Amino acid sequence: MEGSISSSSTVAVASPSALDRNLKSLLSSDERDFLITPTGTQVKVEELHGMTVGLYFAANWYFQCQNFTPVLASVYEQLKQRDANFEIVFISCDEDQSSFDKYHATMPWLAIPFSDLKTKKSLNDMFQVEGIPCLIILDQHAHTVQTEAVELIYRYGVWAFPFTKERVVELESEEKAKHESQTLENLISIDGRDFVIGHDNEQVPISSLVGKTVGLYFSAQWCPPCVKFTPRLVSIYDTHKQNNEDFEIVFVSCDRDEAGFLECFKPMPWLALPFGDERIKGLSRYFNIQGIPALVIIGPNGKTVTREGRNLINLHMEKAYPFTQDHILFLQKEMDEEAKSFPRSSHHSGHHHMLNLVSAASGGGPFICCECDEQGSGWAYQCIDCGYEVHPKCIREAGKESSSPKNKDRVRDDPFCTCSSGGA
């Protein structure tokens, strides 16, 4: 059987050289056989021969690129320190030479000169780049091995190298094993750091949290949706503490400086990881936190109950506790029951069309509520033409205070901030 293909005269087998797309044809042009460093020094394309090469499509004017470039730069520096056979080539989507120069100056790698529009366009077309930032990985034979490297870098940092499918399978199975053997202690205690802190900076041992439902609250003072969500979480926390529930929350700060951390922590009646603690990056990556605020719930057995704590609270408020799947299913059934009495359509003061009641099964789905700017799923009031959706509870609450000018001509806020500590 093995020899059947090669022995058949009707099957054309591509020769190795035809398969061997080369870097030179990709990255140089008739007039140019070099790339440039951030200071303008020329580096011959052939010097990249035999390397794993990342083609980085990005632009300085887009915030997703602004967020990702420093994360990628940190991974790049770490790989260079390990002598990894790796290089990155920036393919600019900037608008002019001076924005390109400024942006390239923030990157420790090579670029195709801004003036070579033709090569940039042909690479864009060849790799069908539809959104930026985009990082395409070519192996040492210049074959594409990965088109989703941005996601992998955010998720696994330097461990994603060399970005092949085999590496991803390996990482996923390692991750699965880690999650399966997860306990609160092996999750939060690393290298002898086996404590969190209270408001007087006192150390609280992780062991004292074992057996409780623990929320890991990823948040930051500079993030408006976090500032808005924290009071809601405080009220829910207080309610359950008053009921003597075994519930604790640990603030995992994505703040950029200690002053921000202190200000953010001040109104929180719970514990925290110290500012800048190295465990924060590890936890962000482990739970793949890409937007904040985020609330991960760990059950009394130390296993992850859900990473959707924030959405569950927005949907069910204090009833969401203890966040288990069975409990949430029960709440959903209860809500389906309750929804039978909701009016089929309703007005909302923020919108000029009538809104219709929909469920996940009847044209609804995950949405951002135009009243409270939080995520929703399941039941909603919707104007399908305008993509306008509101939580049923927000319609009711808005109805109570409909004289308030708050809802007039509202612009929806971005419900997430990017947690830039996630990648590096």
Binding range to Zn ion, per CB under 5 A, among 12-20, 267-275, 335-343, 394-402: 394-402
Give the x/- contact pattern for Zn ion in 316-355, rule: CB under 5 A: -------------------------------------x--
Residue 102: other Cβ atoms inside 10 A: 11
Q: Which of 134, 372, 395, 424 binds Zn ion (CB under 5 A)?
A: 372
Structure tokens belonging to residue 182: 């997860």
- Pick between residue 232 and residue 281 the one whose CB is nearest to Zn ion: 232
Q: What's the closest the beta carbon of residue 152 comes to Zn ion, in angstroms?
A: 34
- Pick between residue 277 and residue 371 the one whose CB is nearest to Zn ion: 371
Q: What's the closest the beta carbon of residue 353 comes to Zn ion, in angstroms?
A: 3
Q: What's the closest the beta carbon of residue 335 comes to Zn ion, in angstroms?
A: 14
Q: Which long-range contacts (CB under 8 A, 24 or more apart) does 381-384 make?
A: 381/345, 381/346, 381/348, 381/355, 381/356, 381/357, 382/355, 382/356, 382/357, 382/358, 383/351, 383/353, 383/354, 383/355, 383/356, 384/356
Q: Which of 116, 277, 308, 371 binds Zn ion (CB under 5 A)?
A: 371
Distance between CA 171 and CA 244 in Å, rounded?
40
Q: Does 214 bind Zn ion (CB under 5 A)?
A: no
Closest CA to 144 of 13, 14, 12, 19: 19
- Pick between residue 254 and residue 312 the one whose CB is nearest to Zn ion: 312
Residue 259: other Cβ atoms inside 10 A: 11
Distance between CA 254 and CA 235 in Å, rounded?
22
Structure tokens belonging to residue 300: 């009394």
Stretch 163-202 residues interacting with Zn ion (CB under 5 A)? none
Q: What's the closest the beta carbon of residue 359 comes to Zn ion, in angstroms?
A: 16
Q: Which of 53, 289, 391, 423 binds Zn ion (CB under 5 A)?
A: 391
End-to-end CA distance of the chain: 48
Q: Which of 369, 380, 419, 424 binds Zn ion (CB under 5 A)?
A: 369
Q: What's the closest the beta carbon of residue 394 comes to Zn ion, in angstroms?
A: 3
∠ at Cα 122 (118, 123), nearest 5°? Answer: 120
Q: Does 72 bind Zn ion (CB under 5 A)?
A: no
Q: What's the closest the beta carbon of residue 257 comes to Zn ion, in angstroms?
A: 32
Q: Which of 65, 383, 395, 424 binds Zn ion (CB under 5 A)?
A: 383
Residue 416: other Cβ atoms inside 10 A: 17
Asked if 280 and 255 touch (Cβ cutoff 8 Å), the reply is no
- Pick between residue 215 and residue 350 the one whose CB is nearest to Zn ion: 350
Q: Using CB under 5 A, count the residues that bind Zn ion.
A: 8
Binding range to Zn ion, per CB under 5 A, among 56-64, 196-204, 227-235, 368-376: 368-376
- Pick between residue 241 and residue 319 the one whose CB is nearest to Zn ion: 319
Q: What's the closest the beta carbon of residue 364 comes to Zn ion, in angstroms?
A: 13
Asked if 132 and 64 touch (Cβ cutoff 8 Å), the reply is yes
Q: Does 394 bind Zn ion (CB under 5 A)?
A: yes
H/E stretch holding 218 reads strand 213-219
Q: What's the closest the beta carbon of residue 338 comes to Zn ion, in angstroms?
A: 16
Binding range to Zn ion, per CB under 5 A, among 1-9, 168-176, 239-247, 384-392: 384-392
Distance between CA 94 and CA 22 in Å, rounded?
26
Structure tokens belonging to residue 395: 């319609």
Q: Which amino acid is at 177?
A: A
Distance between CA 247 and CA 214 in Å, rounded?
6
Q: What's the closest the beta carbon of residue 334 comes to Zn ion, in angstroms?
A: 18
Q: Does 389 bind Zn ion (CB under 5 A)?
A: no
Asked if 43 and 37 touch (Cβ cutoff 8 Å), the reply is yes
Binding site for Zn ion (CB under 5 A): 353, 369, 371-372, 383, 386, 391, 394
